[in-house]
Amino acid sequence: MTRTRPRQGRPRHTPPSDPNASGREQILDAAGALFVEHGISATSTRMIAERVGIRQASLYYHFATKDEILAELLATSVRPSLEMVERIQALVPERASAAAALYAVAATDVRTLSRTPYNIGTLYLLPEVLTERFDAFRADRGRLQQSYGALGASAAADGVTGSIPPERIGELLIQLVEVVIQIRRTRDPDPADTDAIASSCLRLCGLGETAIATARDEARVLLTGLA
């Protein structure tokens, strides 16, 4: 049985042996596996080409450098969340409460990180990713963190905003959501994890259980409308 797949809108995770994957997708997949398994420095474009079963010249047709491949992989771990965050933030406060928006953003981000090929988020702490070659990725991640800070500070109880400035709330919230990277090292995240993480974000902002339940319901309606 053959499946056809539209050329635009490639899926976020291409299984390694998918015969329908494009050359570009196969390269990203092979590179993801190698980066996560061996690290960035120890992975060469030659190794990536060999794993796909193509010549290095063919790889260069799609990507000029190894860094370009890594940059695209890193982008898959943050871009889908960032796009959704912008749409969600635009609804606050008229059509959505800050608490519901924060729940929706956290749940979206958990799902994005749950789907990255080979749990690519494990590369976040690598020294190579700190260099200016990956400024675009770090700028994206910085914008995501700012959104967490802004929504968190709007949603938060006075006792919290009085003691923690918004940028630090953003640091704490993005860190909390990234627990899914750690979870994936030992098990597949499930919907209970998504709710536990998103509701923990609201608790961290000082919200009580009744307010959290309201925000959860509102966020689900919101996400259904945006899907």
Binding site for a second copy (CB under 8 A): 36-42, 122-128, 130, 157, 159-160, 163-164, 168, 171-172, 175-176, 178-179, 181-183, 185, 193, 195-197, 199-200, 203-206, 208-209
Judged by CB, which is closer to a second copy: 59, or 201? 201
Judged by CB, which is closer to a second copy: 49, or 197? 197
Tokens of 192: 């209970």
Judged by CB, which is closer to a second copy: 86, or 167? 167
Judged by CB, which is closer to a second copy: 213, or 221? 213
C-beta pairs of 140-147 under 8 Å, 24+ apart in sequence: 140/75, 140/78, 140/79, 140/82, 141/78, 141/174, 143/82, 144/78, 144/81, 144/82, 144/85, 144/109, 144/174, 145/170, 145/171, 145/173, 145/174, 146/170, 147/82, 147/85, 147/89, 147/105
In whole angstroms, how close is the CB of 172 to a second copy at the nearest point?
A: 5
In whole angstroms, how close is the CB of 9 to a second copy at the nearest point?
A: 30
Burial class for 159, CB neighbours closer than 10 Å (0-12, 13-18, 19+): exposed
Nearest one of 4, 50, 6 to 26, comparing CA atoms = 50
In whole angstroms, how close is the CB of 100 to a second copy at the nearest point?
A: 18
Which residue shows structure tokens 């606050």?
92
Judged by CB, which is closer to a second copy: 84, or 173? 173
